[in-house]
Each structure stands twice: as structure tokens, then as C-alpha cells.
Structure 1
Amino acid sequence: MQFISTRGQAPSASFTETLLMGLEPDGGLAVPASIPKLRADHCEEWRSLDYVELATAVIGLFATDIPEADLRGIVSTAYGADRFPTPVVPLKPLDDVAPGLALVGLSEGPTMAFKDLAMQFLGQAIPYVLAREGRVLNILGATSGDTGSAAEHAFRAQEGVSVFMLSPAGRMSNVQRAQMYSLADPNIHNIAVDGVFDDCQALVKALNNDAAFKAEHSLGAVNSINIGRIIAQAVYYVWAWLRASDGVGPEERGAFHVDVVVPSGNFGNIYAGHLARSMGLPIRRLILATNENNVLDELFTSGVYRPRSAAETLATSSPSMDISRASNLERFVWQLLGPEEFVSRWASLEESGSLDLTDRLRVMHEDYGFVSGTSTHKDRLAAIARVHAEAGVLIDPHTADGVTVALRHMEQGYPTLVMETALAAKFAETVEEALGGAPEPPISVQELLGKEQHIIEIPNSEDELRALITRSALHRD
């Protein structure tokens, strides 16, 4: 399996080469040169597998340059019992809220967020590749909340890896900050930027686009621009479909389709669902849920993508989605337009600040199955309260955005799976507001909030970030 750049000006690369790369040398994002197709019997063969076995099978379709025994070892450690309880990703019916509604439990990992499922894989796969090749890697990333803590917990104390994680100062929940900033490992560098997430993301891209600086300091990325993370996320879409169809007779399974609802800000998680659907997984619709920063909802309803400035990006009660420029959208638009047309039309986005895809709106809906909706703070509170009252389940505000949009778009006869974003304990203030009082937080969370925090504060300055990395980056001997 080879991977190519959306910009078309970089040589193709293997999975392990791409894993360490982050942005492609030409500034594009890595995509599979061809998408492997699921055979009709694949899903039936996989139905009896546990999560580790399924992840080995699905990731193995892409990671063809890692021997199967090695890949199985990587995945076994990533999803071991010391990191995730069995069954790793539970399916939780919410029929009392709406018949056919279910929650895909993605937040059982070390940092209580869906990002753990991809990041724990990268936390084993990247050191494996580095050791094999005698290299070091300085991971440069940006987080709006959950990516940072998931990455740091996956790579803390790992040989040959340092993490430089940018986060928007004052824009995350108390638990999100504590999970990151309380880590004292010498290879973890928490950097709070005076700005919003999009400013952090722009700094990461700027340094990645400087080929000389990137090479000198061995920079890589593990946020959702890393295709390895996307592929690891595709696994749980396959797993969720298998579990949802367990009660369906063998004769009916081929026609059994589900709708999947994904809270999305950076288009990474839903792109993983799109990848699984493109492989042939029976997903009927991909329903994208945004908060008040609804740039992606505008795209899928109007056909026009118009990113907003930092000043226009709102601080909301679902902060991990406070994003107005979705990095992973480039991968989808590349597929939507085709490589040749993509280059010219994507350039117009950089020049004019918007991208008119109205001529592809029908294709986005009918061929690719995209539907979208926006949720507000009031909607989040109502969804948290309703799910708790009717199903006895606590959900976080991002998942509440997903439930809100799911209830608007559900259609009889099609099971609707909401991808969980995080555990409610990470956003206690909003949960308390919704319920009129919050359950006692787990002892582990109380202890976490009491730990000393370690952070470096910088202005929104490329020069400041360059200087910091120059001082602290790992280098090969």
C-alpha cells in the first residue's frame, strides 16, 4: 500500500514512512493511493474477532510494510487491558430516548476521550518504526482539548520521542487542562498559545511547511493530519457496524445499513467514517454535528466552505469543536473533485477565503451520504438532561451535539449510531448546568485536578515557537 499527497507534488510513500511525516513535503495531506475494498465475506469473517484482532485485520489492509506478527504486537499493547476495559468499544442502546438510537462508547481509554483509540495505536507504532530505523521524532501538534492529552499519555516516557503540544490558552475544560499540564515527563512540552485553536493549528502548519526546519528538528505530527490516526479510527466504525448487526439474520446482513452521527470540528473522525464507508462498510448516511462554530454544517447545507477568522471563532460549551478551519476536509475535497481539478480549486480557497462546491452538493449528499446539523448550548443542555432522564446515561456536551442532530435526522428503519466524544466527567460544569447538579466526580478526577501543572506560555508567534523547539527538540546522536 502506497500513500500520495493531495497536492500531487510529493513522491509516494509507504505506511511507515507516512506515519512519521505529518504533512507531506509539498504541504498536502497523505491519502491512500487506492482504497482497499471489503469483500462480501470480510465482515462475516471478522464478526467473531475481538477488538485487537479486528484492528490488526483492518489496519493491516493499509500497513502492508509492517509484518503481521509485529502489527499484532503493536495493536495488542495499544488496546491491552491496562489501557482499555473489555470490549474496548461498547455499544450502548438508547432506545428509551428514541427507538434505534445507540451510543458507540469511544471514551473508555486513559484520557476518557475517543482520541485514545487512535493515539494509543500511534503511541506504539511510531516508537516501533523509530527503533527499527534508528531515528528520533519531535511531535508537534495542536489541540482544542482531547488530542493533546491523548497524545501525551500515549507517548510519555517513550524512547526517541518528544511531544510539543500547542493549546489555546483558557479555552479548554479544567479536566482537559489537568490531564495535559499535570504531566511532568521530560519529553512532554505543554505550550499555551495566546489565541484560539486555529491559531495553534496555523503555527503547526507553518513549521511543517518549512522543509529545512522540519528536517533539521525531525518534526512529525500525530493530530488528525496523520493518516495513521485516521486508519486506526476507521476500525471502530467497522466494529460498531458488526455489533449493531449482531442480531440480524445472516441473510439480511448484506442489506443492513446504519446511519452514523459524528460530532465534528476538524473533520478527522468523520473522515475516518467516510474512509470506512468508501471501503464498502454498509453506512447509509454520515451525519455531521457541529456546535455554533458551524462552518462544516454550512458546507454540507449550502455547498460553500468559508472558514472563519480567529476573532469569529466562538468559545462554546463543547470546546473541542471550537474550530473554524477543518484540516481534514482537504482529503475529502481531493476525492470529491479528483486530483487535477482539486489543485486549481483548492488554490482559490487560499486566495479568496472560500471554496464554492455547490456544483458538487448533490454528489456530497447522494453519493457520499453526508448530512449535517448545528447544535447550540441550549440544545446541549436539553440533550444531556433528556438522555440522563430517559436512559440513565451521562453524556458530555460534544456527544450531546451528536444526539441533538441525530434526533433531528433519524429515519425509521435505520439504526442510528452516535459516536461518543468523551466522558461527561471531563465537562462537569456543563453537565451540572444541564442536570441542576452534577454527580460526584470520580476520585481519579478529583486527584487529577489537585496535581501541580507544568506549562509554557507564548504569544501567537512563529518565531517564539521556533526558538522553543530549537532549544528543546531531540536530535539523533
Structure 2
Amino acid sequence: MKYLSTRGHAGRPEFCDILLGGLAPDGGLYLPETYPQVSRAELDAWRKLSYAELAYEILSKFITDIPAADLKAICDKTYTPAVFCHARPGDDPADITPVHWLEPGKLGLLELSNGPTLAFKDMAMQLLGNLFEYVLGKRGQRLNILGATSGDTGSAAEYAMRGKRGVRVFMLSPHGLMSPFQRAQMYSLQDENIFNIAITGMFDDAQDIVKAVSNDAAFKARYHIGAVNSINWARVAAQIVYYFKGYFGATESNDQQVAFCVPSGNFGNICAGHIARMMGLPVARLILATNENDVLDEFFRTGVYRPRKAAETRVTSSPSMDISKASNFERFVFDLVGRDPQKVAALWAEVDAGRPFDLSSSADFARIDDFAFVSGSSTHADRLATIRKVFAQYQVMIDTHTADGVKVAWSCADRIQAGVPVLVLETALPAKFADTIREALGREPERPAALEGIERLPQRVEVMAPDVEAVKRFIAEHVD
């Protein structure tokens, strides 16, 4: 399998090369030259597989430069009940991502938050850590990972990379804007290969720094800079797996369809769903849910992509979605415009210059329904009401981001064909957002015993202005 850049760079690397590199040299994002197609016979055979077995079958279609036995061993090592050990009572932890029905056969939660940091990012990041260690070991190389997080990516990356041979992590986060639990998960880690940098700005400022460093080819090469944000194709590829697993968990045969509702900030999670559908998974709808930062919802309603400036980005009670520049959206637009890299490069030249682009009157946007997307947004009041309603009706406690998804799924019900079940992708456990749970329900969320009192642990973090050169200096001073 060869890969191409959304902006047309001439190189056609294989998986292991883009795993370590992040962005393409032209600033674009990598995608497979073609999406592998899944046959009905394969769907039938895959239905009974374990999560690790299914991950191997799907990932082997995208990863052809790692020997099959080694890739299978990596999947087996990653997806175990010992790692993903926080399933709800009554759900089978061996499923890794069990479906928890709120209304049987109609509305369910796809549990993606059973990993070590209680967020869906663990599903891809645990695999990424093992892939990094394997490839670096084979090549005798080292890697300095630079990432940005609005909440969950950072802790998932750090827990996946802590202690990994040949890897150091430099994680940027918006100073003071994550929940206390999220900050504690990251900043309390004392591993020598983990470095936290709190940027005095919004997530988008941190993400812009990561892109600027990645686009400095000389610095990137000298200091062996890699990426774990969802700009890294391996993250998206790993997430494709749970759409297939969720589909099998929600249906009895492959003649049925499913709709997935996905809380979306950076578009990486729902991008994986888009690719699963392009591969042939029977997906009736992909429902995109945003919070008050509704850049993506605005595009799917109007055809205008209008990233906001940091000052215009709202601070909300679903902070992992407080994003106004969706990095992975470029991958979808590449498909929307017929995989024309010149069009994509021109559109993102506008974005990089701080201007919106408008496809509303284009022939490309006229095809938007072919991709099965619908969208909606949610507010703080919506989140509180949804958390209360789900707890009262179903005795299930959900976090703020999942609440955005449930609210939008309800609001889009008239756009889903009768009889098609809707799975809302659970993005985190409620323990990560205790302040809002207390506001909604007047009680504390439950948390795993091992994470009790995490906010009281000593924390280690550097606070910096959103300055690219200052971040570069810090990296240079802390690498081997």
C-alpha cells in the first residue's frame, strides 16, 4: 500500500515512513492511494472475530511493510482486556468496545473509553505506541514526538509512550483550559521521556505551533520530530477498526445498516468512519456533532468552511472539542473534490491565510449527500439537559462530549431511515468532567479506584507563550 499527500507531493511512501513523519513535505496529510474494498464474504468472516483479530484484518490492508506475523503480534499485544479494563458493569470487557444499548436495537453507546486514560483516544494511541517502538527498534532510530491536545489526546499519547524505547514526548496544551482531571492525568506523570508544555492560548494556538515545527524541514530532520495528533495517518487507520466492530455489535446480519453519531472537534474520529464507509461498511449516516464551536456543522449546512481565530473560539464544558481549525477535515475535502490535490492546496492556502473558503455553489458540494453526512450542534444547556435525561431514563451517566453526541443524534432522528440503529461514539468517561456532572446531577461521577486523588499528585509542566521559536528551543534543550 502506497500513500499520497492531499496537496500533491510527488513521493509515494509506505506506511512505516509516514508513521514516523506526520505531515507530508508539502504540508498535506497522507491518505492511501485507494481505499481497500471489503467484500461481503469478508464481512461475514469478520463478524465473529475478537477485537485484536479484527484489527489485524483491517490494518493489514493498510500496512503492507510490516511482516504479517509481527503486525498480528502488535495487535494482540495492544487490544487486551487488561489494557481496556473499564467497561460498564454488565458489559463484556473482552469485547474491548462493547455496545451499551440505551434503547435496544435503536439507540446505543459504542464504548470507546475503557482504556487507561478513560478516553477514546486510547483506542488508537495504544496501538501507535507499540508501532513506534517496533519500527524504531527495527531501524535503530529515535523519535521526538511533538503533539497538541485539547484534552484527551495528550494523556492518551503520554500513557501510550511512557517508558517506550527510543521515544520522547513533547505535548502542548492550552494553559488552564482542560478539566482538572485531564490536567492531572498529563502533568502528574514523572517519566523522564514525557514533557508537558502549557501554552497561554487556545488549543488552536498549540496546534499551529505543531504544524509550524513540522513544516520546518531542517528542524524536523535534525531533531527527529514525529507526530501523534490525528494528522498521523496511523491514528485514523486504527480508529477505522471500531466502526466495523460497532457495526457487528449492533446488527445481526450484514444486510442491515447503522448510523454513527460522532462528537467532533478535529474531524479525525469521524474521518475514520467516513473511510470505513468508503471501504464498504454498510453505514446509513455519519452524524457529526459539535459544541458551540460549530465550524464543522456550519460547513455541512452551508458549504462554507470558516475557521475562527483563537479569540473567537469558545471555552466550553466539552473542552476537547473547543477547536476551530479541524486538522483532519482536509482528508475529507480531498475526497469531496474528487481527490484533486491542486484544489485542496488552493483551498488550504486560503485557510492558512486566515480566510474561509466557500464550496456552496460548486459541483463538488452538490455531491455532499453522496457521503451520507448530517450535522448538528449542542450548547452547555443542551449538555446538562441531555446528561440529566440519559441518567433519569436509562440510569447511565455520560460525559459532556458524549452528551453532545446524544443530543445531536436525537435532533437528527428525522433524517435517519426507520429501523436503522444509531450508535453514539462515547468519547470519555464522566470522571474526566466532574464539575459539569455535579452541575447536571448534583453528585460525583464514579471513577476507577486507581485514579482516586489524581488531582493531588505533584505536577510537572512548563508554561510558555504561544511562540514557535521558544518551543523549538525547549525541544532542542531536552533531546538526547
TM class by shorter chain equals over 0.9
> Deviation digits for residues 278-321 of structure 1, max 9, x if unmatched?
10100011100000000000000011000000000010000000
Shift of 1:343: 2.8
Quote the residue 2:141 is aligned against.
135
> Separation in 2 of the partners of 1:442 and 1:450?
16
Quote the residue 1:349 is aligned against.
351
> Deviation digits for residues 171-214 of structure 1, max 9, x if unmatched?
10111011100100000000000000000000000000000000
Answer yes or no: is the 8 Å Cα contact 1:383–1:403 preserved in 2: yes
Q: State the TM-score, normalizing by the size of structure 1.
A: 0.95
Larger mean CA deviation between 315-324 and 21-30 belongs to: 21-30
> Separation in 2 of the partners of 1:157 and 1:346?
37
Q: Where do 1:103-142 residues align within 5 Å?
A: 103-142=109-148
Q: 1:460 to 1:348 in 2, by over 3 A?
A: closer
Identity %: 52
> Equivalent residue of 1:141, what SS?
strand
Quote the residue 1:62 is aligned against.
62
Q: For structure 1, list consecutive stretches of 5 or more residues without a partner in the other structure.
A: none
Q: 1:440 to 1:48 in 2, by over 3 A?
A: closer
> Separation in 1 of the partners of 2:84 and 2:354?
45
- Is structure 2 residue 389 aligned with structure 1 residue 386? yes
> Separation in 2 of the partners of 1:388 and 1:60?
40
Quote the residue 2:91 is aligned against.
none
Answer yes or no: is the 8 Å Cα contact 1:10–1:26 preserved in 2: no
Shift of 1:166: 0.2
Q: Where do 1:411-426 residues align within 5 Å?
A: 411=416, 412-426=418-432
1:470 to 468, 472, 476: 476
> Equivalent residue of 2:288, what SS?
strand
Larger mean CA deviation between 78-87 and 346-355 belongs to: 346-355
Which 4+ residue blocks in structure 1 deviate beyond 6 angstroms?
none
Aligned residues: 465
> Separation in 1 of the partners of 2:116 and 2:73?
19
Q: Which amino acid aligns with 2:373?
A: F
- Is structure 2 residue 413 aligned with structure 1 residue 401? no
Q: Which amino acid aligns with 1:347?
A: A
Quote the residue 2:365 is aligned against.
361
Shift of 1:336: 1.0
1:245 to 251, 258, 263: 251
1:186 to 186, 192, 196: 192
> Separation in 2 of the partners of 1:76 and 1:67?
14
**RMSD of the alignment, in Å?**
1.2
Q: Which amino acid aligns with 2:351?
A: L
Q: Which amino acid aligns with 2:12?
A: S
> Separation in 1 of the partners of 2:326 and 2:124?
18
Quote the residue 1:434 is aligned against.
440
Q: State the TM-score, normalizing by the size of structure 2.
A: 0.95
2:455 to 449, 453, 461: 449
> Separation in 2 of the partners of 1:81 and 1:284?
30
> Separation in 1 of the partners of 2:183 and 2:349?
36
Quote the residue 2:95 is aligned against.
87
Quote the residue 2:465 is aligned against.
459
Shift of 1:416: 0.5
> Separation in 1 of the partners of 2:121 and 2:45?
27
Answer yes or no: is the 8 Å Cα contact 2:119–2:427 preserved in 1: yes
Quote the residue 1:43 is aligned against.
43
> Separation in 1 of the partners of 2:48 and 2:64?
23
> Separation in 2 of the partners of 1:422 and 1:464?
32
> Separation in 2 of the partners of 1:182 and 1:197?
20
Q: 1:344 to 1:459 in 2, by over 3 A?
A: closer
Q: Which amino acid aligns with 1:310?
A: A
Q: Which amino acid aligns with 1:221?
A: A
